[in-house]
Amino acid sequence: MSVDLQTVKRVARLARIAVSEEDAERMTGELNAILGFVEQLNEVDVSGVEPMTSVTPMEMKKRQDVVTDGSKAADIVANAPATEENFFLVPKVVE
Amino acid sequence: MTLIDTRTPDAKRLIPGATGDWEIIIGLEVHAQVISEAKLFSGASTAFGAAPNANVSLVDAAMPGMLPVINEECVKQAIRTGLGLKAQINHKSVFDRKNYFYPDLPQGYQISQFKQPIVGEGTVIVSVGPDRQGEFEDIEVGIERLHLEQDAGKSMHDQHPTMSYVDLNRSGVALMEIVSKPDLRSGDEAKAYVTKLRTIMRYLGTCDGNMDEGSLRADVNVSVRRPGGEFGTRCEIKNMNSIRFIGQAIDFEARRQIAIIEDGGKIDQETRLYDAVKGETRSMRSKEEAHDYRYFPDPDLLPLEFDQAYVDALAKELPELPDDKKARLISSLGLSTYDASILVSEKSVADYFEKVAAGRDGKLAANWVINDLLGQLNKVGKDIENAPVSPDQLGAVIDLIKDGTISGKIAKDLFEIVWNEGGDPRALVESRGMKQVTDTGAIEKAVDDVIAANPDKVEQARAKPTMAGWFVGQVMKATGGKANPQAVNDLVKAKLGIE
Amino acid sequence: MSDLTRLTISQARAKLRGKEITATEITEAYLSAIDRANPALNAYVAVTGDRARDMAKASDARLVKGEGGALEGIPLGIKDLFGTEGVHTQACSHVLDGFKPRYESTVTANLWADGAVMLGKLNMDEFAMGSSNETSYYGPVINPWRRSRLDTVVMPTTHQGDGGFVTAGGTKTQRTLDNAQLVPGGSSGGSATAVSAFLCAGATATDTGGSIRQPAAFTGTVGIKPTYGRCSRWGIVAFASSLDQAGPIARDVRDAAILLRSMASVDPKDTTSVDRPVPDYEAAIGKPIKGMKVGIPKEYRVDGMPEEIEALWQKGIAWLRDAGAEIVDISLPHTKYALPAYYIVAPAEASSNLARYDGVRYGLRVPGKDIVEMYEKTRAAGFGREVKRRIMIGTYVLSAGYYDAYYLQAQKVRNLIKRDFENVFAAGVDVILTPATPSAAFGIADEDMAADPVKMYLNDIFTVTVNMAGLPGIAVPAGLDPKGLPLGLQLIGRPFEEETLFQTAAVIEQAAGTFQPEKWW
């Protein structure tokens, strides 16, 4: 399976990464090289095989329903590029 | 999801169009915030109304290197709700990442459940009505599934001309998404369904159902078709947080779609929002490509697994559910369907009623709770949790009627006194001399006095027996309302020689 | 005073406890060495001199009283992937510009609790994606090892030396270092270089497809990736959640064992952290391996494998046999599919894990007219080429219509790979011996590698199987190639049997010796 320029641009949109025409062209080649490489997986007979759902099987750890965190708005916004009164500020979302 | 037609078209629900009748097909996805102290995958508080980003942990803010750990209580709440929906509880379920970009979704993905949800198919019985004849109709609404997922934060777009404000307090709060089958056929049915879900969850204590605080929201899927015909293209009306508006939105949307189709047009599948001010739905996004959420199992988590014993232990502790309670009140106390419905509509009302009814005449208790207590609460806009009359106090009033200490009419006055001033009803009756007079001798004397004073009325009464009522009234007046009305009635009739 | 930076951790530990040296002395020695060497090697991206001195001082206060933790006063370098409170943590990416966490990763918190001293943050491939440490925003790391060639040198007829030594002419052969800069491997290139060039006593690193073992092999150091779930991932910038593991790079097997013991712990904040006590790994060193069954997988003998790698492998087999182990040929049939499966699973998980780098809450923000433009410009400017490539592949393989063909298929193949190992272990094999890398360190800006991303990926061909199966794997130096560059062997063990790895690696180390680069910087 291989990708064309249009697909690469669509994927870039999904990934929210701006790509120039040049970048997109170059990436098309690179991605196709990688996809060509992984193509060999189709040779493998996986009938009756489950996909791996946990690397080291064990019962999922669960927490007690107690408030143990939060109350640290200053820490939460400390590294933010733009804030006001502990809100994060971002350019408007166009609905 | 293949749509399966589970209901035959009901003439009552059809909408007439220009070219014939139409059936509305409605399915709902209800998002219910789970009652828990802490969030689904983080230890921050779920409390409403905190200062911006105060209920946010590093995990909620998606700091680099943060990891989710599940809150067991949220799992239990989902199972409880599933049991309340008479649904299949899945012993193994998986959390998937739903990937998309939005500023109130810090991780760039929502942890949800896609292929293997915690709860499968179930049913909810919904009582729709009353109609103009005062009749109710029970319909069966299929539940497709219930799954757990994270709520997103909040963005405010109207605080600033060019910037949006983002608060992550709600980000990560546990939600149960309850998906119905497309079994609903009218705005009324949809409203009744959401109301019923809300009631069930409030009974179970799994969601408080406060739509104005956002604890319960619905995405409404609406399409139209010829009765019994092929399903049409549906539109989704998102984020509805008022039961009343759900009804309005459905009505508008159905008519909008019918108008388009009858005009020869086609319905575009899209997401819409309901504008309550204008009373119309409008398209949410302009020609934007559909989201590709790229679901895959969250590798930071493991499959959620538990056995039947775990479910059984939770089932054992469940309170009696509204449908069961209603059936029991009808069968054991002989209440009408209507009355029983009202009493079970809120667990707080049911609890109140059952305390009053314990060891007392159920029907009398029902009358008092429904007509007097709820009636008065409605009038002054209070809810039953803040009722000025306690179940014990109301019970005492009823006891006083039953043992003949006061008449029904006096009881109403007594109720008003207790409401406004509080106090022990029995003591109040004593102190204010409200006891009804049952001493036959005294009553007889009063009757004799009135008869003696009104000989002409006696003649008229002999001719027209209904005039006995006038005598009863006079005796009641003379005794300050305290005479036992039944006894007065009997004596007047006897003395006048009337049947 | 002899060069304190030459002491291994175990040696420094003894001297510190014996009060022969102080933590402040050894820390200062390293800080000076870093100052002199870093311009040439670029191993560190942030040096925390003041903090190091404070920590050393506190260690000295404890040591003087005869108290102190397992790593008291030992100066360490920390890969830039680990969250270190108040200190540069950027995964060597521009997108995390200026990020200083308000939290400490569990692994590094464990080290500080044991008394270690932080020298600074180490360079790495951006977001741990790379096998050469050339994708870092801070520029490549230079391997302290250089190729050498044998030259015949004509000696001068007279020579006035220190002791009035005079030669009468003639020739001699000597090794001369080549000038070419070599890569240290990746992604933990900074960690491997720093350890190998005596710029820290030991370092933390992470391994997703070979990022500890491959750079360890390229720099003549020891690196171990423990079993998945052994070390907590909390506070470590995530690359591929089901593959990432933290581990140490150190100068010898004993040092690696000492470090792993401090790093590992059970963490309730990490759902994938396994609830097992941490054993005393050091105690395994020196235990005899008589009777141990060592598996030699035929599928690791790949076409075109350089002679010296095969020769090294044979040497390793001989050493273990001489030490009493039983050598058995085994088959791990799905070996060759591990790398392609990895290049589906890892990018897929990464594409999701890196979605949070969006300019909203931390790091770089490139302004935009609306939020979407801000996202797209920020991520375009913030991520390097390799990272973007992997995000794109990952996004593509998860997208509608492709999930089953790629991701699902790869996760099934992963179970087959794991099953191969389980079968072999069930048949009685205790440990598996393979080469660590298909070659020695290559040159910076190698043209072949630059032209084809897949060529770079092939560096991980022997290591990636281990991550896919979640097993522990260690790389231990075993010899030099004809150009004088270090080569490593890899041992793969059963889940949570890191002790067996240390035990066996020690035997190889005993036979092969340890290797230090000649100082040219």
Q: Which of C102, C241, C358 sits opposite B108 (nearest CB)?
A: C358
Q: pLDDT (tens digit, 0 to 9) for every residue of chain C, 521 residues total? A: 469 999 999 999 999 999 999 999 999 999 999 999 999 999 999 999 999 999 999 999 999 999 999 999 999 999 999 999 999 999 999 999 999 999 999 999 999 999 999 999 999 999 999 999 999 999 999 999 999 987 777 777 655 555 555 556 677 777 788 899 999 999 999 999 999 999 999 999 999 999 999 999 999 999 999 999 999 999 999 999 999 999 999 999 999 999 999 999 999 999 999 999 999 999 999 999 999 999 999 999 988 889 999 999 999 999 999 999 999 999 999 999 999 999 999 999 999 999 999 999 999 999 999 999 999 999 999 999 999 999 999 999 999 889 999 999 999 999 999 999 999 999 999 999 999 999 999 999 988 888 888 888 888 999 999 999 999 999 999 999 999 999 999 999 999 999 999 999 999 999 999 999 999 99
Phi and psi for C151 in degrees, rounded to 5?
-115, 150
d(CA C360, CA C356): 9
Q: Which residues are bridge partners to C206 per DSSP?
A: C246
Query: What is the number of CB-based contacts under 8 A between chain B and chain C?
Result: 97
- ω before C187 within 30° of 0 (cis)? yes
SS3 B455: helix
Tokens standing for residue C44: 């560190």
Please give, rounded to a whole number of angstroms, the shortest distance from the CA of A39 to a CA of chain B: 20
* B477 — pLDDT class (breaks 50, 70, 90): confident
Phi and psi for A50 in degrees, rounded to 5?
-85, 150
Amino acid at A5: L
pLDDT at residue B287, rounded to an integer: 43
* CATH class of the domain comprising A5-42: mainly alpha
pLDDT at residue B493, rounded to an integer: 85
Q: Which of C340, C391, C399 sits opposite A41 (nearest CB)?
A: C340
* % of chain B at pLDDT higher than 90: 69
The answer to whether B287 contacts chain A (CB < 8 Å) is: no
Chain C residues in contact with B97 (beta carbon < 8 A)? 352
Please give, rounded to a whole number of angstroms, the shortest distance from the CA of B299 to a CA of chain C: 6
The answer to whether A75 contacts chain C (CB < 8 Å) is: yes
* Model pTM score: 0.91
* A14 — pLDDT class (breaks 50, 70, 90): very high
User: Who's near C323: CB < 8 A, 6+ residues apart?
Assistant: C288, C289, C290, C507, C511
Chain B residues in contact with C92 (beta carbon < 8 A)? none
Q: Identify which has the larger pLDDT, C418 or B7.
A: C418
Q: What's the sign of the alpha-carbon dihedral C45, C49, C52, C54?
A: negative
B contact residues 349-408, partner A, Cβ 8 Å cutoff: none
**Neighbors of chain A with 3 or more C-beta pairs under 8 Å:** B, C
* CATH class of the domain comprising C4-142+186-282: alpha beta
Contact: A44, C392; criterion CB under 8 Å? no
CA angle C62, C68, C72 (to 5 degrees): 100
To the query of whether residue C187 is one of the catalytic residues in this protein, the response is yes
Contact: A92, C370; criterion CB under 8 Å? yes
Tokens standing for residue C57: 């001082």
pLDDT at residue B5, rounded to an integer: 60
Contact: A14, B292; criterion CB under 8 Å? yes
Residue of chain B whose alpha carbon sits nearest to that of A63: B71
Please give, rounded to a whole number of angstroms, the shortest distance from the CA of A68 to a CA of chain C: 12
Please give, rounded to a whole number of angstroms, the shortest distance from the CA of B255 to a CA of chain A: 25
B contact residues 164-223, partner A, Cβ 8 Å cutoff: 164-168
Which of the following is catalytic: C132, C187, C265, C273? C187
Whether the per-residue pLDDT at B86 is higher than 60: the answer is: yes
CB environment C192-221: b (16+ within 10 A), e (fewer): bbbbbbbbbbbbbbbbbbbbbbbbbbbbbb
Contact: A16, B101; criterion CB under 8 Å? yes
User: Who's near A20: CB < 8 A, 6+ residues apart?
Assistant: none
pLDDT at residue B89, rounded to an integer: 98
To the query of whether residue C418 is one of the catalytic residues in this protein, the response is no
In total, chain B counts a number of residues equal to 499
- How confident is the model over B388-402, as pLDDT tens digits? 999 999 999 999 988
Angle, helices C49-64 vs C9-17, to 10°: value is: 50
The answer to whether A66 contacts chain C (CB < 8 Å) is: no
Q: Are B426 and B397 in contact (CB under 8 A)?
A: no
d(CA B426, CA B408): 15
To the query of whether residue C19 is one of the catalytic residues in this protein, the response is no
- How confident is the model over B261-303, as pLDDT tens digits? 999 999 988 999 999 999 999 998 654 556 899 999 999 999 9
- How confident is the model over A66-76, as pLDDT tens digits? 999 999 999 99
* H/E segment holding residue C2: none
List the domain boundaries for chain C: 4-142+186-282, 148-177
Rg (CA), chain C: 23
Strand B174-180 versus strand B137-150 pairing type: antiparallel
The answer to whether B45 contacts chain A (CB < 8 Å) is: yes
Tokens standing for residue B41: 């995958």
Which of the following is catalytic: C211, C232, C273, C351? C211
DSSP letter at C91 equals T
Burial class (CB in 10 A: 0-12, 13-18, 19+), C315: middle
SS3 B76: helix
* B135 — pLDDT class (breaks 50, 70, 90): confident
d(CA C72, CA C58): 9
pLDDT at residue A95, rounded to an integer: 60
Q: Which of B42, B53, B101 sits opposite A69 (nearest CB)?
A: B42
d(CA A34, CA C395): 14
Whether the per-residue pLDDT at B4 is higher than 70: the answer is: no
* H/E segment holding residue C156: none
Among C87, C105, C275, C361, the strongest candidate for a mutation testing the B interface, having the largest count of B CBs within 10 A, is C361
d(CA C216, CA C193): 9
pLDDT at residue B2, rounded to an integer: 46
The answer to whether B294 contacts chain C (CB < 8 Å) is: yes
Contact: A80, C343; criterion CB under 8 Å? no
Given the cut 0.85, state whether the ipTM is greater than it. Answer: yes
Please give, rounded to a whole number of angstroms, the shortest distance from the CA of C336 to a CA of chain A: 9
- How confident is the model over B52-73, as pLDDT tens digits? 999 999 999 999 999 999 999 9
* B481 — pLDDT class (breaks 50, 70, 90): confident
Q: Identify which has the larger pLDDT, B109 or C155.
A: B109
Q: How far apart are the first and last CA of chain B?
A: 72
- How confident is the model over B171-193, as pLDDT tens digits? 999 999 999 999 999 999 999 99
